[in-house]
Amino acid sequence: MTWTAARLPRLDGVTVVVTGATRGLGVATARGAAAAGATVIVAGRDHDAADAVARSLGGSSSAATLDLTDRASIERFADSVGEIDILVHNAGVLPTSRVETADGFESALATNVLGPFVLTNLLADRIRGRIVAVNSTVHSAGRIDFADLHFERRAFSGARAYAQSKLAQALWMLALDRRLRAARSEVTTAMAHPGWAATEMTGVTRVAAVDALVTWLGNTIANTAVAGAACSLYAAAMPIPSGSFVGPDGFLGMRGAPTLVGRSTQAADPVLAERFWETAAALTGSELSA
């Protein structure tokens, strides 16, 4: 039988934080968790949008403002949150131009990995269950340029920045899991990818014909938001080994039902993972609190 969010175990009494939960995959993830009985904290940059989603979920779900490119926003959010069971790092960005945050970070790296890195470190002693990061098969095309992480010298490409950030995220999660296992923590980790979501790549190449083809293909064969969110929900709530990667079971992982999938050789490299962890810690001045 195909696994869908309807087969989630009951999550009554479980508190779930979903970042970037004001549209698309994030909304579908929040709705799936709430439908299973969870109390969902809908986190997003636009508080009004987050509040509208939280109200639509009903129950005791609530909204909170969170901008992962803004250290003060991350710290305010962390200060406002009590104990949680599941943290889903869903927020993400694929930039079409280079944007630098107030801390001097390239926006994709900040949103997709450095912000979540800081948030997780701040919340670590209040997380009781699982930490999930929404990744992408694009991580396999990533290359981390430690000498120019923020594209200050090399020519900027949104696709390259996104791929770098997703590989960096996978390495961070690997290093995080290794630390939790070494500490004999009961907290587990997982990654998920939703398959091909057409909106991820729209407009990135800036070649009209190529972008039109990508959009058409995506609209034809892409996973829906609900199907993509099923992978995140499976990663968040099902009894799978810590460090698992969940993705669609269909052709090339573009669509289908959740299953355990592999990752690139780079993304499984513990030495590279430790190097990125140390780099992220140095850049942010943040370390794991648990």
Residues annotated as catalytic are 162
Sign, Cα dihedral of 149, 155, 158, 163:
negative
Distances (CA, A) of 72 to 69, 118, 131, 254, 287: 9, 11, 22, 37, 16
Among 245, 221, 219, 250, smallest CA distance to 232 is for: 245
The enclosing H or E element of 78 equals helix 71-80
- 248 close to 195: Cβ distance less than 8 angstroms: yes
Phi, psi of 21 (to 5 degrees): -100, 30
- 15 close to 85: Cβ distance less than 8 angstroms: yes
